[in-house]
């Protein structure tokens, strides 16, 4: 259409409009306009009511970043009437700091880009809040970017809840990672670990990555534990998801083992087992302590049993010694009257030999009974060990002896004869364990034992000398390990052993305030070892010299409740040239001494007597004559009651049964001081 045509049409329309009367125009258009205006006003009222009551901030911002519309929520937030907000720039209303956080999004919205983001701002009352902001660009009828609508919601509670949840999860992760227990999670569907904490990795020695790759059955040491695990899995997959507690032996990365107590919880989804979480406590130390306690209880029971048997053996040995005293005394008397050419001489010597074997047996019984030490001296155990082992080795050529002796071994206060007996018993025991020959290693060492070390043996902590006898024999079966120190227990056939060797060794060492024990593995040999308290005194080197029968003519009062001992003792003393008076009880001895004390040079006093024993009798004799000379005689040892009597002034001690030579020597020692 050309310009002329447009002008013509405009002119026609103008003439038509001017031709209409004002009244007709009012009647035709005004009602329609009023209706439209009313509708617009009603819609605006509804829109205002809606926007003012929404819990969100709604606004329109023009291209100059000025507010052209805000709802009532803006008034509440910024504490400014909306009339004062309208026409204001965004930066002026929200403040420079808040504006910096949203400026970039505003510019993008004005460029026509729809924006949705979150921002943390400070409201008009100074309260920090989190907002979710939506910017919707608005284009006018001419297609120009006229501004944008802004819809803003306060999401502070949600954000704070999320933050609290994140903090809680972080704390929980920290707690799980460093809790005083191992914790891991296991996927029941895929049969694999999905998480593990730091402590569980420390328990097992694996890194987190290594642990998560493990087959759980590979951690279990014992086959029974693997069966328990398999049973667990079958039960879980059958739908039984009850909490469980179980104890397992776990194999660590370095090959060592620990014992863990697992508290297990199962989780399911839609009724199907999904995962398992376990809390593991390392109870290795607890179980070891329980085992140690059980071992201590066993050792205590063994000690009590041996003490009871020792008491019985001690009484038997005492009576047997008196019997041997009678036999020995009569043999000695007979030998005094004959020479070696006499037909009965050899038989009498045989009797003495048999008596000596009986004496050895009673010594073992007394050792079992812990009846004391006979003659205690500060001793170099290296020399004692070497001498006894060399003597044993000369008779057992099939045994190879090896020594590992401490260079500066501490001395010990011991009865040499008894410790030699212990060593000989251990050598013989090792020889029996190596019938085809082997190696016997004898070691000594200085050791300092602490409270933990001595707990199994009921001895005080301190300095000890350790003596070990190790063999390469067939070892000791665990089933008989606890019985080896029992009296009369032997693995040898009937008639080939008394079963007193190790029992007497146990008694002797315990009587020396020491301890004896054994370690052994079947097929790998045994190591018997004992501890003796170290002494601070110098080693007693002793004296040597030829002995001969000593005689005398002094007056002796012989006191013993056994008529057999009294009779043979009197005859032995008289054979040695002494004048003898006898008393069969303590009271009889007191009565005799009160009458004859001026003429009695020596009292030989039995220690164990009914009614008035040797201790009370000696005290009464001292009351009568403070300078009384007394020789104490007993089938028991010098320890205990005998030591107490000696400390109160008794002049000497002689062990029953004794030969005439020993008796003669002891009498002269006492009489001559």
Domain ranges, ordered by start, for the chain:
17-158, 179-282, 372-533, 555-671
Task: Please state, in angstroms and rounded to a whole number, the distance separating the CA atoms of residues 484 and 108.
Answer: 95
Q: Name the superfamily (CATH) of residues 179-282.
A: PAS domain (3.30.450.20)
Residue 387 pLDDT greater than 90, yes or no: no
Residue 606 pLDDT greater than 70, yes or no: yes
Over residues 506-534, the mean pLDDT reads 89
Tell me the fold of 555-671: Rossmann fold (3.40.50)
Nearest by Cα to 419 from 373, 458, 457:
373
Q: Which has the higher per-residue pLDDT, 28 or 334? A: 334
**pTM as predicted:** 0.42
Are 17-158 and 179-282 the same fold in CATH? yes
Nearest by Cα to 368 from 500, 529, 512:
500
Task: Please state, in angstroms and rounded to a whole number, the distance separating the CA atoms of residues 631 and 653.
Answer: 6
Task: Please state, in angstroms and rounded to a whole number, the distance separating the CA atoms of residues 383 and 366.
Answer: 25
| Partners of 182 in beta bridges | 280
Q: Which has the higher per-residue pLDDT, 619 or 12? A: 619
- Give the N- to C-terminal CA distance of the chain in Å, as an integer: 165
Under the banding of pLDDT at 50, 70 and 90, the label for residue 544 is: very low
Instruction: Output the pLDDT for position 639.
Output: 55
Over residues 448-462, the mean pLDDT reads 88
Written as six digits, the tokens of 347 are 């038989």
Task: Please state, in angstroms and rounded to a whole number, the distance separating the CA atoms of residues 208 and 196.
Answer: 7
Lowest mean pLDDT among 69-78, 127-136, 245-254, 367-376: 367-376
- What tens digit of pLDDT does each residue of 46-69 get? 666 666 666 788 889 999 999 998
Over residues 542-547, the mean pLDDT reads 48
Instruction: Output the pLDDT for position 494.
Output: 36
Angle at 417 between CA 412 and CA 422, to 5 degrees: 80
- What 3-state DSSP class applies to 545? coil
CA 242 from chain centre, in angstroms, equals: 32
Instruction: Output the pLDDT for position 497.
Output: 42
Say what the alpha-carbon torsion angle 626, 630, 633, 637 is, to the nearest 10 degrees. Answer: 60
Instruction: Output the pLDDT for position 143.
Output: 83
Residue 412 pLDDT greater than 70, yes or no: yes
Residue 134 pLDDT greater than 90, yes or no: yes
Pairing of strands 602-606, 555-559: parallel
- What tens digit of pLDDT does each residue of 554-590 get? 999 999 988 888 888 888 888 889 999 999 999 999 9
Tell me the fold of 372-533: Heat Shock Protein 90 (3.30.565)
Phi and psi (nearest 5°) for 494? -60, 130
User: Could you tell me what percent of the chain has a pLDDT over 90?
Assistant: 21
Domain 17-158: state its class.
alpha beta
Under the banding of pLDDT at 50, 70 and 90, the label for residue 545 is: very low
- What tens digit of pLDDT does each residue of 346-358 get? 887 777 777 776 7
Say if residues 534 and 411 touch (Cβ distance below 8 Å): yes
Task: Please state, in angstroms and rounded to a whole number, the distance separating the CA atoms of residues 135 and 153.
Answer: 12
Q: Which residues are CB-neighbours of 656 under 8 A, at least 6 positions away?
A: 321, 322, 324, 325, 565, 633, 634, 635
Find the radius of gyration of the CA atoms of the chain: 54
- What tens digit of pLDDT does each residue of 206-229 get? 998 998 898 887 888 777 777 777
Across 83-216, the runs of DSSP E, i.e. the strands, are: 115-122, 128-139, 145-154, 182-187, 192-196
CA 101 from chain centre, in angstroms, equals: 62
Instruction: Output the pLDDT for position 442.
Output: 94
Residue 24 pLDDT greater than 60, yes or no: no
| Partners of 442 in beta bridges | 403, 469
Angle at 359 between CA 355 and CA 365, to 5 degrees: 145
Under the banding of pLDDT at 50, 70 and 90, the label for residue 487 is: low
Instruction: Output the pLDDT for position 350.
Output: 78
Whole-angstrom CA distances from 271 to 149, 238, 264, 429 are 49, 11, 18, 67
């Amino acid at each position: 259409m050309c310009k002329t045509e447009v002008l013509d049409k405009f002119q026609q329309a103008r003439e038509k409009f001017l031709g209409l009367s004002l009244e007709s125009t009012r009647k035709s258009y005004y009602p329609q306009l009023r209706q439209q205006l009313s509708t617009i006003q009603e819609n605006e009222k509804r829109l205002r009511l809606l926007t003012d009551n929404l819990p969100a901030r709604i606004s329109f911002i023009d291209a100059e970043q000025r507010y052209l519309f805000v709802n009532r929520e803006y008034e509440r937030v910024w504490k400014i009437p909306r009339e004062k907000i309208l026409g204001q720039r965004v930066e002026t209303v929200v403040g420079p700091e808040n504006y910096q956080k949203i400026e970039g999004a505003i510019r993008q919205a004005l460029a026509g880009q729809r924006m949705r983001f979150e921002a943390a701002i400070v409201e008009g009352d100074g309260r920090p809040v989190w907002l979710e902001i939506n910017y919707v660009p608005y284009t006018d009828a001419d297609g120009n970017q006229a501004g944008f609508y802004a819809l803003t919601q306060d999401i502070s509670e949600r954000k704070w809840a999320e933050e609290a949840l994140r903090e809680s999860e972080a704390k929980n992760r920290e707690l799980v990672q460093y809790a005083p227990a191992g914790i891991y999670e296991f996927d029941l569907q895929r049969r694999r670990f999905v998480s593990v904490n730091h402590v569980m990795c420390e328990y097992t020695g694996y890194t987190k990555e290594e642990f998560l790759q493990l087959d759980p059955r590979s951690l279990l040491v014992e086959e029974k534990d693997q069966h328990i695990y398999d049973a667990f899995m079958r039960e879980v997959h059958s739908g039984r998801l009850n909490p469980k507690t179980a104890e397992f032996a776990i194999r660590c990365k370095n090959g060592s083992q620990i014992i863990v107590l697992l508290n297990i919880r199962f989780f399911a989804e839609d009724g199907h087992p999904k995962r398992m979480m376990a809390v593991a406590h390392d109870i290795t130390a607890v179980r070891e302590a329980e085992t140690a306690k059980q071992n201590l209880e066993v050792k205590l029971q063994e000690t009590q049993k041996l003490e009871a048997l020792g008491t019985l053996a001690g009484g038997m040995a005492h009576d047997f010694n008196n019997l041997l005293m009678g036999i020995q005394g009569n043999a000695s008397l007979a030998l005094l009257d004959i020479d070696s050419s006499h037909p009965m001489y050899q038989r009498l010597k045989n009797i003495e030999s048999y008596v000596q074997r009986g004496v050895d047996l009673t010594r073992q019984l007394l050792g079992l009974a812990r009846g004391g030490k006979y003659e205690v001296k500060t001793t170099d155990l290296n020399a004692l060990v070497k001498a006894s082992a060399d003597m044993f080795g000369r008779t057992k050529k099939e045994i190879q002896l090896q020594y590992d002796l401490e260079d500066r071994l501490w001395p010990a206060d011991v009865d040499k004869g008894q410790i030699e007996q212990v060593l000989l018993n251990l050598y013989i025991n090792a020889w029996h364990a190596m019938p085809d020959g082997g190696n016997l290693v004898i070691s000594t060492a200085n050791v300092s034992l602490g409270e933990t070390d001595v707990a199994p043996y009921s001895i005080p902590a301190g300095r000890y000398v350790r003596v070990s006898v190790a063999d390469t024999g067939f070892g000791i079966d665990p089933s008989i390990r606890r019985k080896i120190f029992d009296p009369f227990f032997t693995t040898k056939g009937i008639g080939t052993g008394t079963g007193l060797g190790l029992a007497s060794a146990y008694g002797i060492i315990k009587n020396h305030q020491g301890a004896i024990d054994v370690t052994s593995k079947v097929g790998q040999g045994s190591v018997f070892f004992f501890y003796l308290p170290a002494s601070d005194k110098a080693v007693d080197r002793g004296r040597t010299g030829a002995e001969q029968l000593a005689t005398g003519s002094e007056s002796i009062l012989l006191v013993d409740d056994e008529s057999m001992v009294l009779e043979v003792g009197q005859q032995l003393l008289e054979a040695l040239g002494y004048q003898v008076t006898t008393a069969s009880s303590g009271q009889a001895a007191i009565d005799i001494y009160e009458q004859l004390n001026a003429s009695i040079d020596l009292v030989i006093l039995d220690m164990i007597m009914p009614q008035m024993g040797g201790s009370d009798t000696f005290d009464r004799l001292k009351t009568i004559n403070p300078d009384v000379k007394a020789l104490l005689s007993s089938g028991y040892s010098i320890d205990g009651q005998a030591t107490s009597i000696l400390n109160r002034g008794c002049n000497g001690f002689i062990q029953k049964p004794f030969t005439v030579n020993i008796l003669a020597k002891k009498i002269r020692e006492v009489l001559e001081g």
